[in-house]
Structure 1
């Protein structure tokens, strides 16, 4: 540890002077070089204080004036401290490639940094899963080429956003977190858009007419028809009793419908009673027919609503009721073979 510290101190001491020495091949004026040297010294002080972002900003400004192996090294050091391990490794390797005429201790320090950093950089292996064979895959918003799929790719530690898209497939998006020295494998699978369609409903249990959860097709109509039918039948019975009483009284006064023996006033009254009796008979049969029809329709609609399939309701003698009527919004059809 002491040896490494001494190397760093030696590098800091030796690089400030020759770092920005004039070079005949460059035409920087003295003022520009002087400003660059001052910024470089300030950047070293910021590094010593642990202010890596500010030091990196100044070092990059120095590099715009003249990029030397020492400047590259210090930029890479700041990037490493900020978690930009991949960029830092590239900076160290560039510094080493240009360090032929630099102090041997500097070269040894750069080599040690490279060796240490290579073991710390995590690697991400992205594989194409189901539906992702032709997908466009992006890592942190940057599209990956085929050479980066199916191989270990060096990435910085921390969170990353992996996304993919393909025609006819639902977009894929996942946030992954990877630690130093870790190798993580992620499979990119894209579901078909057809999978968004609702699943088919399970068949209703015939033992439970309401198992399908559907609202009654006819609502309160079966009950209304049933009530009307019952009232019609009851009314028919009332008129039947009235009719029988009227006819019974007339037969006592006019046997065989012959009222000639009655006085004139009684005959007029008898004819009125005959008219009343005929009206009662007509009303009786009318209410009976309407009541029976309404009651039958109400019962049929009720059975259809209670039927799980709401299709045909079987009747005796090969007949069946269908819950529909041609050219009508609601009704019944009698189905059978004759």
Structure 2
């Protein structure tokens, strides 16, 4: 009796467990490997649209990317462009809108073509431009590949076609088998001025970099020093100045002594006047000579110069001002 009771309990337990497992298996979603690519793409697209409706574009975009990879449907491409636009990936959105417009034109879908083209053009006006030049001798490199941000650049764009890009840093790369790759990071901060880039010749892998020759500067042995001796005219100006000042002081001393002894006699007055005249003329001549004497550097370089030359004639004397300009 006990044995019969145990068998019955075990049977009931097995039935219950089997029922539970069957119900759980029925609730499980169909495994991904049981769906073909198009069906998987449809599932991802539907879920991405639900997330987008909730404002969760950052989660929706990767699902749309995978859906497009599995099934390159025009509608998926258009919705992915919208997702990129909402997440400020304007260049990618513009590119996808352009692709949709071309595909819709081929399919005769004028309304979708017009809508995609208008949205692409609106985004294009907000983008910066890169202009990539690949010189002919560089373009002839076997199996050369040029990329912008890891995306291959068509050969048609190697001749200076403006490429729309987002603001920020971008990476230009060029590579070829057996050649050292070229890489340049380009910061872009302005949408008004295109940035021009050129791809240089790629060196061979075993080619040593060019060494720069050391440059040695040998000082000149015949160059005048800054402490150059004064010129003759400067010396004459100094002597005249000192002599003129001395004549003025002497004349003033004679006049003062004559006045102190009872008056300024005729001889004293004449001597004083002559001294004052000579002293004044000497000072004026010294000043003129000093002003017209060129600096040492100007004399070396043959610059402008002036000179006063005394002259004597039958009717008297004078001075002539000569110059070089």
TM category (shorter chain) comes to 0.3 to 0.5
TM-score normalised to structure 1 length: 0.38
Higher relative CO (Cα under 8 Å, sequence separation at least 6) belongs to 1
TM-score normalised to structure 2 length: 0.39
